[in-house]
């Protein structure tokens, strides 16, 4: 089933309808589907740069890294921690991955729930056209969108779950598009995430500051859990691939990066925090 009818025009917020390979709004703005099936709903005037979001190189590195399943335990913990009263049953549950990257998690989550009675209706959105192009090749059962969390091209009250994994949350927008009592999952690095690599890259490690320690606007915390395990990167090429998908490649010192180049392999800690929230307030304004 097409999920394009859940989208709205980024210029005037009127609903979009599918006509052959284009989406058209009530006022006649037209958006063509790309060859691989995604839709670009990021108007030029909403772009802060010419090529926003992750670059082609970062996307390729992330895809190669994730395809090796080093982060599969995170997928597993997402599925295990999914609040029971929101499991797919008879009804279809609509899930938006806001900042979906190259689509690994949304694709894996779809597989994990595929044998449930109901199914997930999945939408993945990212500001990087490179990420969305890769995602649209990875999984054809998802509606992939180039767009921004700052102004989601969707009507209010449209999805049941928003996922924001290692991303850039915009809580007012997440609350707006979520249905009443809809759920939000935030996944973020914990204190020890990739600590062995960070110790080589930086002269000193700053104290860990927990994010959203005072809660997040429009949401209440439902549950909190952690994925903590170790994994090994067996070659220098694998280590460079991981570096290329993280902000460390830009932030680390020259000496740090040179020291990492000498490694033949490394065993790393993955330390990731998962927090499920439930929407508490109704937000109806379209940004």
Ligand X SMILES: C[S@@+](CC[C@H](N)C(=O)[O-])C[C@H]1O[C@@H](n2cnc3c(N)ncnc32)[C@H](O)[C@@H]1O
Residue ranges of the annotated binding site are: 25, 29, 71, 102-103, 193
Query: If DSSP codes are grouped into helix, strand and coil, which group holds residue 223?
Result: strand
Question: Phi and psi for 143 in degrees, rounded to 5?
Answer: -85, 115
For the bound state, the minimum distance from the C-beta of residue 129 to ligand X, rounded and expressed in Å, comes to 9
Q: What is the signed CA dihedral for 240, 244, 250, 255, rounded to 10 degrees?
A: 0
For the bound state, the minimum distance from the C-beta of residue 14 to Zn ion, rounded and expressed in Å, comes to 5
Instruction: Dig out the tokens for 275 from the structure.
Output: 């927090």
Residue numbers 175-214 binding Zn ion by CB under 5 A: none
Give which of ligand X, Zn ion, none residue 208 binds (C-beta under 5 to 8 Å, depending on kind).
Answer: none
Q: Are 141 and 38 in contact (CB under 8 A)?
A: no
Annotated binding site for S-adenosyl-L-methionine: 71, 102-103, 193
For the bound state, the minimum distance from the C-beta of residue 170 to Zn ion, rounded and expressed in Å, comes to 21
Spell out the SS3 assignment of 134-185: HHHHHCCCCEEEECECCECCCCCCCEEEEEEECCCCCHHHHHHHEEEEEEEE
Give which of ligand X, Zn ion, none residue 25 binds (C-beta under 5 to 8 Å, depending on kind).
Answer: Zn ion
Choose the stretch contacting Zn ion; rule: CB under 5 A; options: 6-14, 70-78, 153-161, 203-211: 6-14
Which CB sits closer to Zn ion, 9 or 146?
A: 9
For the bound state, the minimum distance from the C-beta of residue 168 to ligand X, rounded and expressed in Å, comes to 5
CA atoms of 138 and 15, how far apart (whole Å):
27
- 264 C-beta neighbours (distance < 10 Å), count: 9
Binding mask 21-50 for Zn ion (x = CB under 5 A): ----x-x-x---------------------
Which CB sits closer to ligand X, 10 or 99?
A: 99
- 1 C-beta neighbours (distance < 10 Å), count: 9
Give which of Zn ion, ligand X, none residue 101 binds (C-beta under 5 to 8 Å, depending on kind).
Answer: ligand X
For the bound state, the minimum distance from the C-beta of residue 181 to ligand X, rounded and expressed in Å, comes to 24
């Amino acid at each position: 089933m097409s999920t394009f009818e859940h989208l709205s025009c980024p210029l005037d917020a009127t609903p979009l309808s599918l006509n052959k390979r284009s989406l058209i709004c009530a006022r006649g703005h037209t958006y063509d589907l790309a060859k691989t099936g995604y839709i670009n709903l990021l108007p030029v005037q909403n772009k802060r740069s010419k090529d926003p979001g992750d670059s082609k190189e970062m996307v390729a590195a992330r895809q190669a890294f994730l395809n090796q399943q080093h982060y599969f335990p995170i997928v597993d913990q997402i599925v295990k921690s999914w609040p029971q009263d929101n499991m797919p049953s008879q009804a279809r549950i609509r899930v938006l991955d806001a900042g979906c990257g190259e689509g690994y998690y949304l694709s894996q989550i779809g597989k994990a729930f595929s044998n449930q009675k109901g199914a997930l209706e999945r939408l993945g959105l990212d500001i990087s056209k490179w990420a969305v192009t890769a995602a649209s090749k990875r999984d054809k059962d998802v509606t992939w969108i180039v767009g921004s969390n700052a102004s989601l091209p969707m009507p209010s009250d449209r999805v049941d779950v928003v996922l924001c994994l290692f991303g850039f949350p915009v809580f007012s927008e997440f609350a707006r598009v979520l249905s009443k009592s809809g759920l939000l999952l935030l996944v973020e690095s914990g204190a020890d995430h990739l600590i062995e690599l960070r110790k080589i890259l930086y002269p000193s490690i700053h104290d860990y500051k927990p994010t959203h320690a005072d809660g997040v606007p429009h949401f209440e915390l439902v549950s909190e859990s952690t994925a903590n395990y170790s994994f090994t990167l067996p070659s220098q090429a694998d280590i460079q691939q991981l570096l290329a998908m993280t902000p460390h490649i830009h932030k680390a010192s020259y000496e740090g990066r040179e020291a990492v180049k000498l490694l033949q392999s490394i065993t790393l800690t993955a330390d990731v925090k998962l927090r499920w929230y439930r929407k508490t307030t109704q937000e109806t304004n379209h940004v």
